Structures are given as C-alpha cells and as structure tokens.
Amino acid sequence: MKIAFLGLGKMGSGMARNLLHAGHELTVYNRTREKADRLGREGARVAGSPAEACRGCEAAVSMLADDHAVEAMGLAEVLPAGAVHISSSTISTALARRLAATHAGRGQHYVGAPVFGRPEAAEKKTLIVVAAGDAAQIERCRPVFDGIGRQTFIAGGEPWQANAVKLSGNFMLASMLETFAEAYALLRKSGVDPHLFLDVMNALFASPVYANYGRIAADEQFEPAGFALKLGLKDARLVLQTADEAAAPMPLAGVIHDRLLAGLAQGQAEMDWSSIARVAARNAGL
C-alpha cells in the first residue's frame, strides 16, 4: 500500500519501520525532522508537511500523543478522497466520533486502530491492534495491521469503540501498577525483597505484562520512560470522561487518576508511569 505515517515518537518509529520492511511504499512526517530522516536513510520518503505526506496516499496512519496533536495535524484537510485515516493514537472517544464524521463529510474513511504494547513491542512487531469501523475498510487496512502487530481484534462497527477498548485496557494496566506500588511499599517496610514477591506473582499469574512492569517497579528503573507518566495521566482523564459518557461509574479509575496526578506534582511527568511506585513509597514514609 501507499502509506503516509505521521508521528515518529517512541512507538511510531518502530511501527513505521516495520511497515517499510513489509514492503509498503512509505512516506513519513514528524514535527522533529531528525526522526523522519532516520527512516529516510532506510528507504522511506520524508515529507516536510502532513499535506506532502498524504499526497496520493491510500492510507494515513497517525500515532500522536493526544487529542490536540491529532487535531492539529488536520488530516481531513489533506487526505485524498477515498483514502482512509487509521488512527493509532490513544485519543478520546469524543474526538474519534468527530473525526469519523469529518472524514465522512469529505468522502474519506476513518478507522480507529489503537495498539497495546511498549516501544520494544513496536520495534519487534508484537503489538496488539484493536480496530473498529466499517468492515470493508478494516479489511482494506489488514496489511497495515499485519505489518505492525502480532494480532488484531475487531471492537465493533464504530471507530470510537476501539478507543473505548484502549482506554479500558490502559486503566487495567494502571490498576496493576497501583497494586504493585502499594504491595512493594508494604513489603519494603516489612523487610521483604520486592523481587521475591515478583517471583511469587510470576508463578501465580504467568503474565509477561506482570513480569515486565513488576520488574521495572522492583528495580526502580523509571528512566528512560517506555510510557511517560504524563501520558498515563492523560489516559486516566480520558477513561473517566468515557465513563461519564456511558454513565458507568469507575471509582478505581479516580484513585488511579489521583495517584498519577500526585506523581506529576512530584516531578515525575517524564518518568515511566510505573513510577507511581515512588508515590506509594513516599506515602509509606520510605
């Protein structure tokens, strides 16, 4: 496919590289030109603007930080008629609905396709893709999904439903981080090595997600961040907004939000979001 890829951060760069290696005709754009130039040296065409990147493309993949960044890209204004915008960014369900309507009004298509996985998963093409939207457009985009991930799930016929899954999934991950944070604080005060506890939990849950995040928190290796705390806070806000839309109370999400907010207030914005373990440790007097 002829693909435009917009947003080459920690996740986007690995995703774009895998699409390039899969044989797609790839044009990349990033506000910081240096990141795009790296892929240019590997064979991608480097664009100087979103409009240039999308010129003549069949699909445009956006992998950006938040609602504001996605809206500022203005893809509906530059995407060719008949092309599809594949939104892999973690955005609000409200924005996803607006984007779907805007693209439809311009004769374009829109598919929600956020992903689960950290930067190393993006590099290794082991992301989990959650897609939603028109069935024909999802099938059209299968080569893109297969190029960036190991498995694709279809959430529904409305693009915003994929974002509901992504936000709920990040809520589950943050809840796990909170439980590790509280348990590790208790164990350290009790004179027990958190790494021993992690071994027990790995035997109990046998989950690579528990193993990975549990190790990061036990080792206190919060930099460089795989997923910054400030982005986790953004997602906590978005899942609470979605809960309001659906009239579905999520009391634990409020706790997670406040824990992440405390981390932000304590200077941890750029640390990995697992650094909420430091917040729990401070509260325990450690």
Residue 4 β-bridge partners:
27, 60
d(CA 242, CA 246): 6
Give the active site residue among 125, 166, 230, 234: 166
Question: What's the full length of the chain, in residues?
Answer: 286
Q: Strand 115-116 vs strand 127-132: parallel, antiparallel, or unpaired? A: antiparallel
d(CA 51, CA 41): 21
Q: Are 257 and 237 in contact (CB under 8 A)?
A: yes
* Helix axis angle, 160-189 to 276-283, nearest 10°: 40
Decide: residue 267, CB within 10 A, 0-12 exposed, 13-18 middle, 19+ buried.
Answer: exposed
- Asked if 10 is an active-site residue, the reply is no
CA atoms within 13 A on the CB side of 280: 23
Q: Which residues are catalytic?
A: 166
